[in-house]
Amino acid sequence: MSANVAPYRNFEALRAGLIRRKMMDKVFVIIGLIVMLACLAILAILFIDLVRDGAPRFSWDFFTNFASRNAARAGILAAWVGTTLVMTVTAVCAVPVGVAAAIYLEEYAPKNWFTAVIEINVTNLAGVPSIVYGLLALGLFVYQFDLGQSIAAAGLTLALLILPIVIVATREAIRSVPNAIREAAYGLGATRWEVTKDHVLPYSTGGVLTGMILGLSRAIGETAPIITIGALSFIAFLPESPFKGEFPFISFAWLNDPFTVMPIQMFNWVSRPDQAFQSNAAAAGAILLGMTLLMNGMAIWIRYRFRKKINW
Amino acid sequence: MNQSISRPGLSQNALRYRKVRDRIVEVFLLAAGLVAVFTTLAIVAILLYESSAFFEHVPLKDFLTDTMWTPLFADAHYGILPLVAGTLTTTIVALLVAVPLGTTIAIYLSEFAPHKVRETVKPILELLGAVPTVVYGYFALTMVTPFLQIFMPDLPGFNMLSAGLVIGLMIVPYVSSVSEDAMRAVPRYMREGSYAMGATRLQTALRVVVPGAFSGLAAAFILGISRAVGETMVVAIAAGMQPNLTFDPREPAATITAYIVQVSLGDLPHGSIGYQSIFAAGLVLMLITLIFNVIGFSLTRRFREAY
């Protein structure tokens, strides 16, 4: 707009342009809303569809029956027991190691190339495709360590897979603890470990819990790495019970047992052409999805609660 | 230790004990940190070790130029190209979905949405990324494919199109979440400068915020690509497991990941060529991921805006 043009001649054009631009703004808001709602709607459709397809199979028997060639009699007993045991191994391995690594990186690590290497590794591991963890486990755990296609091998694999998630969440929680608290403790003569154990960690509980739940919710739905280590999909027995009638009352023999897990059971049913098995797959999927959503919801709730409760 | 702190005058022994204990704890913590390093090393070592056995049987030239991948047949061919083509095709379809949708959502949430909407929608969107992939596979096979067949009656039951579309949907939350963080990091004064010049919100978003956040957006897209390349269950369920050298998403084809699943489902003896071939395939998968990450890294570096 050059200076010698009288303003009143442009007024109409200017206003038309303004109206048009404001219009575009509104159009974009509508597009944005539609796209966002569409994504949320798809999530809802997914869930409703699974529940609807699987509805005829929801019954007590579905939880207490083994897999079977007869679709109507097949159940997920071996799968949910397997999932529970594998998740136990994963949590027991991943949480302590992940929290310890996070503490090291936040509270102890000096700023040098060595620390940088660890940090880059954690970031990169988060981006490694899950099936590659399966290959690692197949070569390392199954054959080199001779763990076989066991619950221990699967639990360790998933533990490595979720380690970056636990580390990142814990680090974030530790970082949000104000330095004044550390300095006060140091000022009273506490050592670094005492500061960490008595002050930093208790304040980070929320973040650690969130990381653990998010990690496990990722692990519970992972199929590819477990298929790669060669988990069987047709299992008609349970692993040995961890609880014994006589001393020492607890047994770890189940760690070496073959197993199946929920997502594998679902995959097995999905890949059958027989329509009857599809509703089994849907029912298993609905339960799996329900568990994942529940865990994620829990993580969000914990994060919210702790954020609200703590006032530095 | 709380009691000992409140007690005045600690003995020399107690002090030494605390020092030693701190040292031991530190070593343990460091060891935990090193698990990440060892995992990376172990992945590289295992892939290279098993692949080297594979490449003793298969000349590298055949691996890269042969157009057939049939390691388990009597007439064995070891050309990785069909698997790479399948992987790239599903990835491209996925990106065509995820990049526009993810960016639109990110712009909307970062620049337009009221605070309350953003705080509610973000966690729900993240749930979309938390759905087990095997469930997405079921979704692709039993809902998306039949739906597409209404418009494309010739579409086969297994096809890369529906797998790619569903993967795209799956990675929307990753793309939108990282892009939104990048856009929110653009300082407010840049927006205000733009508003002061008479620009509307949309103009500011598209011409100031998006260019300003470009390096972050590139990182988001690369993250999406890595997810799509490595996605396994959706393609294994919905795209078929037949290696097929084509870039036509309407056809069935196996990806690298689907091949690994297919072999693992059978009971291949440890040390056979089929067993080694999945490690070679895994190595290629890692290389593709690496290439995209290097591209992303250089893009990020080149377009980094310093505020």
Residue spans of the domains in chain B: they are 2-57, 81-302
Interface check B21 vs A, CB under 8 A? yes
CB atoms within 10 A of CB B63: 19
Chain B CB within 8 Å of residue A104 CB: yes
Helix boundaries (H) for A104-200: 113-127, 130-137, 151-175, 179-187, 192-195
The pLDDT value recorded for residue A97 is 94
**Direct distance between the N- and C-terminal alpha carbons of chain A, in angstroms, rounded to an integer:** 54
Confidence of residue B99 (pLDDT cuts 50, 70, 90): very high
Q: According to the model, what pLDDT value does residue A234 have? A: 67
For the segment B137-158, the average pLDDT, to the nearest whole number, is 87
Beta bridge partners of residue B69, listed in sequence order:
B78
Q: Which of B220, B225, B254 is nearest to B239 (CA)?
A: B254
pLDDT at B6 over 60: no
Half-sphere exposure of B157 (CA within 13 A, CB side): 6
Within 8 A of B261 by CB-CB distance, chain A residues are: 131, 224, 227-228
Reported as type and span, the H/E element at residue A65 is none
B27 → chain A, closest CA residue:
A104
Whole-angstrom distance, CA of residue A81 vs CA of residue A60: 15
Q: What is the mean pLDDT of chain B?
A: 86
* Confidence check: pLDDT of B57 > 70: yes
Q: What is the average per-residue pLDDT within B246-269?
A: 84
State residue A200 phi and psi, 5-degree precision. -70, -50
Mean pLDDT, residues B121-125 taken together: 84
% of chain B surpassing 90 pLDDT: 29
Q: Which of B40, B169, B223 sits opposite A42 (nearest CB)?
A: B169
pLDDT score recorded for residue B264: 84
Q: Do A154 and A261 touch, CB atoms closer than 8 A?
A: yes
pLDDT score for B10: 64
Which CATH number fits the domain B81-302, given the four candidates 1.10.645.10, 3.40.50.2300, 1.10.3720.10, 3.40.1350.10? 1.10.3720.10
Q: Which chain A residues are Cβ-neighbours of B257 within 8 angstroms?
A: 129, 131, 224
Length of chain A: 312
Q: Is the dihedral of CA B214, B218, B219, B221 positive or negative?
A: positive
User: Which residue positions in chain A have pLDDT lower than 50?
Assistant: 1
Please indicate whether, in this complex, the C-beta atoms of A46 and B223 are within 8 angstroms of each other: no
Closest-CA residue in chain A for B31? A101
Give just the sign of the alpha carbon dihedral A125, A127, A132, A134.
positive
Note whether B231 contacts A: Cβ–Cβ < 8 A: yes
Q: Does A24 touch chain B (CB under 8 A)?
A: yes
> Measured between CB atoms, does A227 come within 8 Å of chain B?
yes
Least confident of A248-262, B33-47, B163-177, B289-303: A248-262
Among B112, B139, B230, the residue with its CB nearest the CB of A129 is B230
Model pLDDT, residue B29:
92
Confidence of residue B4 (pLDDT cuts 50, 70, 90): very low
Average pLDDT over residues B53-62: 83
| Of residues B32, B169, B226, nearest to A104 (C-beta) | B32
Question: If 0-12 CB within 10 Å is exposed, 13-18 middle and 19+ buried, where does residue B93 land?
Answer: buried
Residues 270-299 of A with CB under 8 A from B: 270-271, 278, 281-282, 285, 288-289, 292-293, 296-297
Please list every residue in chain B whose beta carbon sits closer than 8 Å to the beta carbon of residue A125: 36, 39-40
Structure tokens at B204: 């500011």
